[in-house]
């Protein structure tokens, strides 16, 4: 059976016609009746033929009482068992069993699927929560505690892949999330995190105003496990494009930013990932800037956690695609901070992406020219201080953005002896680097020709003549 097909634990019904003395291997595990047309499936189990066809038709795979799961991909008649059953009936003076038709089998399987669903979901939740409680490496820890919870423990997809959400499931989840008992909150957020880890439909169905409202309160919990798993669950929800705008509009971003500022280290990692994920949607970029995401993201670039630095840089890159956020970053002093990181070799590649965006705005160009960006970038190109070819290309792209800065860029580029270096890049660089270097050189050379056509001495003398004429006129 395919992985997309549902699997439910079912209680196998016993037929009222079944005799207590019948050997259990004579009885179909699904119909509960003596088998008239037994078949062996690929997994070695035996069923009534039409019960197998009904399960395949309804994409239903039962879990047998012994915990095994049958494989219906191949069906072979079990002639030996059929003969044994017939002999048993004759010796017991019983009528031979009659095969059930397909419609009857389908109705039976369908009835089992629907009537057992609520009970099976509850049983499934209890098993998963029991597993979580016994396998957690750390109990609930107050915020003042130095330890961190294990939030990366793996969970089998089969534990949660059958849990379909409906109003009943949402009610139960929200009730646990809003519980006054910290232990119940912890169980709920750990379960919710595992539940939303792999299944797209579950992430979409559980991203409701009620769930987000309950999660919003727990994100800033002073208990490590509750906080970490709440933010991690939010990251999972944000992975779906349909959820991104909904999450931002739910009011959950301010507490998320609070965690990014001062939450547990592991929570900060997840918070940076959540903001990065939310920033991928164009509708969220301006809102995240207005809600105050930029300052803590800048601060997080110096985090001890590589994961936090990585996701914060990518979040800033996407947010800086919007002009309003570029202006905010300049006012925050981001240019000086980012150039300082580049000069010290701190996350150079990702920081250079942000500087490329800033160089595309007039405010960013001015701040970068003031901050010595031209000299910095030319020096890096000369020394080859890059961790990858893409970082080198981004450095040249940033220079290209600055080349729109007019005569000031030209003067700084000449002072840094950039032209000779750019000629080398044009000859030996990658295609992208060659293209950018060529365009920068065109800008520099074009402006040289314009300057040669201007008689600066004559222009200055003419200005003096005009000034003297104005003085004479005013004196009369």
**What are the tens digits of pLDDT across the range 149-183?**
333 333 333 334 334 445 678 888 899 999 999 99
Who has greater pLDDT, 173 or 148?
173
Per-residue confidence at 266, pLDDT binned at 50, 70, 90?
A: very high
What average pLDDT does range 422-431 have in this prediction?
A: 86
Specify which of 195-199, 456-460, 463-467 reaches the highest per-range mean pLDDT. 195-199
Q: How far is CA 41 from the centre of its chain?
A: 40
Structure tokens at 202: 């579950």
Higher pLDDT, 335 or 383: 335
- Percentage of the chain lying above the pLDDT 90 cut: 39
Q: How high is the pLDDT of residue 226?
A: 95
Cα-to-chain-centroid distance, residue 288: 17
Please tell me the predicted confidence (pLDDT) of residue 185.
Answer: 92
pLDDT of residue 181: 92
Per-residue pLDDT of 281-297, as tens digits, reads 999 999 999 999 999 99
pLDDT: which is higher, 279 or 137: 279
Question: What does the pLDDT average to over 132-144?
Answer: 39
Measured in degrees and rounded to the nearest 5, phi and psi for residue 41 equal: -100, 175
pLDDT at 322: 93
Q: Is the pLDDT of residue 301 over 60?
A: yes
CATH number of 344-446: 1.25.10.10
> How would CATH label the architecture of 174-321?
Alpha Horseshoe (1.25)
Mean pLDDT across the chain:
79
Q: How far apart are CA 239 and CA 236, in angstroms?
A: 5
List the Cα angle 210/115/65 in 5-degree steps.
Answer: 110
Which class is 24-115 in CATH? alpha beta
Instruction: Tell me the two tokens of residue 179.
Output: 């519980």
**Which pLDDT band, with edges at 50, 70 and 90, does 102 fall under?**
confident
Give residue 126's pLDDT. 55
Q: In terms of residues, how long is the chain?
A: 476
The count of C-alpha atoms lying within 13 angstroms of the C-alpha of 179, restricted to the half-sphere facing its C-beta, is 16
pLDDT for the residue 464: 52
Q: What is the pLDDT of residue 390?
A: 83
Tell me the average pLDDT across 186-193: 92
Tell me the domain boundaries of the chain. 24-115, 174-321, 344-446
Q: What DSSP assignment string belongs to 343-384?
A: HTTSSHHHHHHHHHHHTTSHHHHHHHHHTTHHHHHHHHHHHT
Strand partners, 75: 41
Of 225-234, 388-397, 444-453, the one with minimum mean pLDDT is 444-453
pLDDT band at 59 (very low <50, low <70, confident <90, very high): confident
Q: How confident is the model at residue 312 (pLDDT cuts 50, 70, 90)?
A: very high
Among residues 415, 413, 420, 423, the alpha carbon closest in space to that of 447 is found at: 413
Q: Which residue has the higher pLDDT, 115 or 342?
A: 342
Residue 207 confidence (pLDDT) above 50: yes
**Percent of the chain whose pLDDT exceeds 70:** 77
| pLDDT tens string 13-53 | 444 444 446 788 899 888 888 999 999 888 888 999 999 99
Residue 455, pLDDT score: 53
Is the pLDDT at 430 greater than 80? The verdict is yes
The neighbouring-strand residues paired with 39 are: 47, 77
Instruction: Kindly tell me if the per-residue pLDDT of 341 is higher than 60.
Output: yes
Domains 174-321 and 344-446 share a fold: yes
CA–CA distance, 267 with 226 (Å, rounded to integer): 10
Strand partners, 8: 62
Q: What are phi and psi of 8, to 5 degrees?
A: -130, 140
Of the pLDDT bands very low, low, confident and very high (cuts 50, 70, 90), residue 127 is: very low
Beta carbons within 10 angstroms of residue 164's beta carbon? 13
β-strand partners of 61: 7
Q: Which two tokens mark 61? A: 């795979």
What pLDDT band is residue 461 in, cutting at 50, 70 and 90? Answer: low
How high is the pLDDT of residue 261?
Answer: 94
User: What pLDDT score was predicted for residue 276?
Assistant: 96
Average pLDDT on 252-260 reads: 95
Which structure tokens are listed for 239?
A: 């992975």
Query: What order do you get walking across the sheet with 75-77 strand by strand?
Result: 46-48, 38-41, 75-77
Tokens found for residue 288: 């995240």
Mean pLDDT of 326-349: 88
Are 318 and 280 in contact, with CB atoms under 8 Å apart? yes
**Distance of CA 407 to CAs 175, 366, 444, Å?**
65, 12, 9
Range of lowest pLDDT (151-155, 174-178, 255-259, 413-417): 151-155
* Predicted pLDDT of residue 138: 37
What's the pLDDT at 72?
86
């Amino acid at each position: 059976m395919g992985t997309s097909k549902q699997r439910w634990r079912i209680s196998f019904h016993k037929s009222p016609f079944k005799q207590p003395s019948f050997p259990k291997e004579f009885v179909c595990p699904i119909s509960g009746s003596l088998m008239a047309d037994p078949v062996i499936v690929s997994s070695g189990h035996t069923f009534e033929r039409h019960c197998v066809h009904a399960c395949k038709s309804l994409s239903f795979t039962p879990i047998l009482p012994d915990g095994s799961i049958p494989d219906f991909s191949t069906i072979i008649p079990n002639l030996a068992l059929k003969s044994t059953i017939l002999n048993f009936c004759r010796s017991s003076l019983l009528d031979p069993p009659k095969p059930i038709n397909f419609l009857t089998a389908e109705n039976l399987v369908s009835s089992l699927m629907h009537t057992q669903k609520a009970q099976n979901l509850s049983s499934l939740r209890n098993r998963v929560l029991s597993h979580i409680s016994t396998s957690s490496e750390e109990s609930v820890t107050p915020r003042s505690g130095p330890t961190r919870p294990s939030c990366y423990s793996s969970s089998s997809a089969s534990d949660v892949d059958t849990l379909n959400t409906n109003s009943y499931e949402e009610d139960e989840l929200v009730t646990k999330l809003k519980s006054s008992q910290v232990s119940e909150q912890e169980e709920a957020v750990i379960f919710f995190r595992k539940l939303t880890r792999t299944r797209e439909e579950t992430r979409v169905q559980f991203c409701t105003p009620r769930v987000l409202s309950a999660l919003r309160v727990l994100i800033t919990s002073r208990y490590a496990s509750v906080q970490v798993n709440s933010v991690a669950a939010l990251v999972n929800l944000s992975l779906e494009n349909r959820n991104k705008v909904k999450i931002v509009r739910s009011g959950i971003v301010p507490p998320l930013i609070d965690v990014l500022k001062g939450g547990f280290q592991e929570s900060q990692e997840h918070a940076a990932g959540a903001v990065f994920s939310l920033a991928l949607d164009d509708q969220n970029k301006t809102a995240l800037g207005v809600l105050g995401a930029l300052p803590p993201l800048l601060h997080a670039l110096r985090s001890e956690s590589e994961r936090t630095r990585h996701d914060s840089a990518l979040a800033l890159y996407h947010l800086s695609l919007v002009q309003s956020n570029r202006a905010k970053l300049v006012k925050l002093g981001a240019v000086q901070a980012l150039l300082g990181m580049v000069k010290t070799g701190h996350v150079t590649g990702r920081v250079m992406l942000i500087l490329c965006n800033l160089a595309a705005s007039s405010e960013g160009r001015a701040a970068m020219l003031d901050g010595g960006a031209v000299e910095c970038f030319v020096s890096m190109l000369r020394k080859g201080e890059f961790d990858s070819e893409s970082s080198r290309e981004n450095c040249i792209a940033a220079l290209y953005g600055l080349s729109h800065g007019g005569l000031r860029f030209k003067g700084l580029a000449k002072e840094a002896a950039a032209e000779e270096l750019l000629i080398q890049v044009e000859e030996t660089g990658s295609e992208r680097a060659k293209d950018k270097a060529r365009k920068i050189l065109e800008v520099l050379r074009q402006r040289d020709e314009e300057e040669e056509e201007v008689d600066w001495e004559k222009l200055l003398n003419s200005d003096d003549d005009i000034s003297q004429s104005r003085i004479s006129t005013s004196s009369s």
